[in-house]
C-alpha cells in the first residue's frame, strides 16, 4: 500500500489522527503544515520564560485517544502522563456565591444541595440522568459515525432513543430546557455555559447539547507538560508509523483535474501528487476559494452563522482572594446580554463571563506565586473586518471589565504588562484563514444545525475533510474523531478496507 500517497493539509489534532491511522495501514503519508510545529489550535504561548496552554485546556473523552493508540499498538498511559481531576470546575458569581462540581457525582450533588437546597439537588440528579441517557443514545449513531441526514439518523436511534429525544424536545433550545430543569438561575447559567464549548449561544443551541455536561462529568484530566504534549505524542506516533512532516510549508492550491483531486501546489510552486488528500482546516477557507477556485465545491456554504471567537490573556501573575482550581468561571447576572452582544450586535460583550485556567493547579498540585493563567472571554468572529469593534481602546475596556468581573466575584489578578500576551479575533483569523477568528467552525444554532456540518467525504472525489468545522464538531476529542472518520473514508474509497469495519468499536465515554 506504500504506492498510495496521501497528503494531509494541516497538522491539527484531526490531521495528526488521520495521518497516524493511514500511516499505520502502510500508506505513504505526508503532512503539510504552514506553522513551524504541529497542534493547530492546541498551542503554547511563551510568556516571560514560561509556556502557557493558549488553546484548548480541557482533556476529556479519554476513550477516543485510548482507542486510537491501541489501534496502532500504543498505550495511552505509557505515551501520556494524565492526572484525573477531582474538581471539574469552580464557579463564582458576583453576588458572592460559589459552586464546585466534582468528578464524584455524589460530591457534586451534595455541593448543589448546599448551594441551592435539596429540591434543586433532586433536579440536578434528574438532569444528570437525562444527559447521561442522551449521550449514550447519541454516541454510536452520531459521534462515532459519518454525518447522516435526518431520516437516517432518526432510524438509527431506535424506539428508546426516539422516545428520549421526544422528551428532551428536539426543537427546544438549551436555555429553555435548562429553565425546565432548574429553578435557580445560577444553575441555568452554569450548565448553559456548555453551549460555548462548541462555540454557540445557549439561547439558540438545541437542547440536545445538554449532553456536553455528561461528557465532562465522565472525566476531566490534566496532561503533564500541557496540551501540546498530546500533539507531540501524536507526531511521535506518526513518525513511528512512517509519516513524513513538512513544516513551514504552505499549501497554495488543491489541484483538481477532471473533477478529482490530484495533489497540492505549495506556496513555492512545488507540486505534491496525491491519491487522496485530507484537508484539516476550516471548511470556510475552501468555500472562499483560498485553496483554489476548483476546491470551492468541497463545501457549499449555507450561510451558517460563525461560531464564537475569543479574546484571551496569557499571563504570569499573582492572584489572591479565592482558592482557585485548574478550571474556574466567573459569572455576572445579565447572562443573555453576553450572547446578544456577540451574535446579534457583533460586538465585544459588555457583561462578559471570564474563564480562568490556572495551569499550575488541580489534581493536588501546589500553586505557584506568580502562576500561569489563561484567561478567556467570548467574542464575535469579526477578525476579518477593519472597523473599530476590535480597536485597541475597546479591547482595553473589555480587559478592564473582564478582570473587574473576577474582582467582583472575589479574585484579584495582579496583571504585569511585561508578562501578559493578549490575543484577539484578528490574531485567530490570521492563524486560521477564512474564519474571521471563529474557533469552532459554524455555530450550532437550531436543531437541524447538527446536520449542516460537512462530513468526511467531500463532493470532490479524493478530497476528505477533518477538523472542528466538520462532523462531529469542535473540541479536541471530537476533532480527533473526525480525523479517524476521514482516515476510514480514505481507506474504504481506496479499496483497502470497509468503513463499517473500521469504525465498529464499542464502549466509551465522552467530553466536549
Query: Phi and psi (nearest 5°) for 465?
Result: -120, 140
Q: Which pLDDT value is given to residue 253?
A: 97
Q: What is the pLDDT of residues 395-450, one digit of tens each?
A: 999 999 999 999 999 999 999 989 999 999 999 999 999 999 999 999 999 877 87
Considering only the C-alpha atoms of the chain, give the largest distance between any 2 of them, rounded to a whole number of Å: 67
> 253 forms bridges with which residues in the sheet?
265
User: What residue ranges do the domains of the chain occupy?
Assistant: 5-42+59-81+225-304+444-494, 105-218, 308-431
pLDDT digits (tens, 9 = 90+) for 317-371: 999 999 999 999 999 888 999 999 999 999 999 999 999 999 999 877 666 689 9
Angle at 37 between CA 32 and CA 43, to 5 degrees: 125
Tell me what pLDDT residue 186 has: 97
Q: Where are the extended beta strands (E) located within 321-467?
A: 327-331, 354-358, 371-379, 412-414, 420-423, 463-465
What is the CA 300 to chain-centroid distance, rounded?
23
- Reduced to 3 states (helix: H, G, I; strand: E, B; else coil), residue 304 is coil
Hey, CA dihedral for 258, 261, 263, 268, is it positive or negative? positive
**Contact call for residues 355 and 377 (beta carbons, < 8 A):** yes
**Domain spanning 5-42+59-81+225-304+444-494: CATH superfamily:** FAD/NAD(P)-binding domain (3.50.50.60)
Which three three-digit cell numbers place residue 17? 489522527
**Cβ atoms < 10 Å from Cβ of 451:** 15
- The residue assigned the cell 504552505 is 250
Q: What's the grid cell of residue 238? A: 506518526
What is residue 9's predicted lDDT score, i.e. its pLDDT?
98
Looking at residue 367, its pLDDT comes to 66
- Residue 121: the pLDDT is 98
Q: What is the pLDDT of residue 506?
A: 30
Identify the pLDDT of residue 303: 73
How many Å apart are CA 303 and CA 308, to the nearest integer? Answer: 15
Q: What is the mean pLDDT of each run of 10 residues along the chain (512 residues)?
A: 90 98 97 97 96 96 97 97 97 97 97 98 96 86 73 72 75 94 97 96 94 93 97 98 98 95 96 97 94 91 86 97 96 93 97 97 77 97 93 97 97 94 97 96 88 91 96 95 97 75 33 28
* pLDDT of amino acid 366: 65
d(CA 27, CA 496): 10
Q: Locate the DSSP E strands across 416-462.
A: 420-423
DSSP 200-224: --TTTSBGGGGHHHHHHHT--EEET
pTM of this prediction exceeds 0.75: yes
Q: Which helix (H) or strand (E) holds 233?
A: helix 228-240
Quote the CA–CA distance of 40 and 385 in Å, as a whole number: 23
Q: How many residues does the chain have?
A: 512
The pLDDT of residue 57 is: 96
Amino acid at each position: 500500500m506504500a504506492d498510495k500517497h496521501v497528503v494531509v493539509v494541516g497538522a491539527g489534532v484531526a490531521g495528526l489522527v488521520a495521518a497516524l491511522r493511514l500511516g499505520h495501514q502502510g500508506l505513504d503519508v505526508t503532512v503539510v503544515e504552514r506553522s513551524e510545529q504541529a497542534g493547530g489550535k492546541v498551542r503554547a504561548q511563551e510568556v516571560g520564560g514560561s509556556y502557557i496552554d493558549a488553546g484548548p485546556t480541557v482533556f476529556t473523552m479519554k476513550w477516543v485517544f485510548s482507542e486510537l493508540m491501541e489501534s496502532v499498538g500504543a498505550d495511552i498511559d505509557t505515551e501520556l502522563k494524565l492526572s484525573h481531576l477531582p474538581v471539574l470546575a469552580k464557579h463564582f458569581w458576583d453576588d458572592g456565591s460559589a459552586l464546585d462540581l466534582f468528578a464524584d457525582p455524589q460530591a457534586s450533588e451534595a455541593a448543589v444541595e448546599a448551594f441551592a437546597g435539596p429540591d434543586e439537588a433532586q433536579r440536578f440528579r434528574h438532569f444528570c440522568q437525562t444527559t447521561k441517557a442522551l449521550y449514550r443514545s447519541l454516541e454510536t449513531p452520531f459521534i462515532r459515525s459519518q454525518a447522516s441526514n435526518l431520516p437516517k439518523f432518526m432510524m438509527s436511534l431506535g424506539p428508546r432513543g426516539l422516545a428520549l429525544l421526544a422528551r428532551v424536545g428536539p426543537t427546544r433550545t438549551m436555555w429553555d430546557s435548562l429553565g425546565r430543569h432548574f429553578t435557580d438561575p445560577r444553575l441555568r447559567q452554569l450548565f448553559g455555559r456548555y453551549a460555548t464549548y462548541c462555540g454557540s449561544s445557549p439561547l439558540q443551541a438545541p437542547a440536545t447539547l445538554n449532553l456536553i455536561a455528561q461528557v465532562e462529568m465522565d472525566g476531566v484530566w490534566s496532561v503533564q507538560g500541557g496540551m501540546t504534549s498530546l500533539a507531540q505524542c501524536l507526531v511521535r506516533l506518526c513518525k513511528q508509523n512512517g509519516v513524513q512532516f513538512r513544516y513551514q510549508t504552505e499549501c497554495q492550491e488543491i489541484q483538481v483535474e477532471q473533477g478529482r483531486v490530484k495533489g497540492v501546489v505549495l506556496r513555492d510552486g512545488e507540486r505534491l501528487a496525491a491519491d487522496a488528500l485530507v484537508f484539516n482546516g476550516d471548511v470556510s477557507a475552501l468555500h472562499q476559494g483560498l485553496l483554489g477556485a476548483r476546491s470551492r465545491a468541497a463545501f457549499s456554504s449555507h450561510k451558517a452563522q460563525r461560531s464564537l471567537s475569543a479574546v484571551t490573556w496569557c499571563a504570569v501573575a499573582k492572584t489572591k482572594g479565592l482558592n482557585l482550581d485548574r478550571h474556574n468561571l466567573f459569572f455576572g447576572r445579565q447572562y443573555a446580554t453576553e450572547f446578544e452582544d456577540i451574535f446579534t450586535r457583533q460586538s465585544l460583550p459588555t457583561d462578559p463571563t471570564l474563564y480562568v485556567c490556572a495551569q499550575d493547579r488541580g489534581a493536588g498540585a501546589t500553586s505557584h506565586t506568580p502562576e500561569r493563567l489563561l484567561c478567556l472571554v467570548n467574542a464575535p468572529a469579526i477578525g476579518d473586518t477593519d472597523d473599530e469593534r476590535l480597536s485597541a481602546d475597546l479591547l482595553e475596556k473589555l480587559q478592564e471589565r473582564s478582570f473587574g468581573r473576577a474582582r467582583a466575584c472575589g479574585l484579584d489578578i495582579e496583571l504585569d504588562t511585561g508578562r501578559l500576551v493578549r490575543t484577539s479575533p484578528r490574531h485567530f483569523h490570521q492563524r486560521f484563514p477564512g474564519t474571521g477568528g471563529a474557533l469552532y467552525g459554524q455555530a450550532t444554532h437550531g436543531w437541524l444545525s447538527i446536520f449542516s456540518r460537512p462530513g468526511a467525504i467531500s463532493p470532490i472525489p479524493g478530497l476528505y475533510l477533518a477538523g472542528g468545522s466538520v462532523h462531529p464538531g469542535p473540541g479536541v476529542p471530537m476533532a480527533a474523531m473526525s480525523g479517524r472518520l476521514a482516515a476510514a473514508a480514505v481507506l474504504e474509497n481506496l479499496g483497502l478496507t470497509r468503513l463499517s469495519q473500521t469504525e465498529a468499536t464499542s464502549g466509551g465515554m465522552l467530553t466536549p
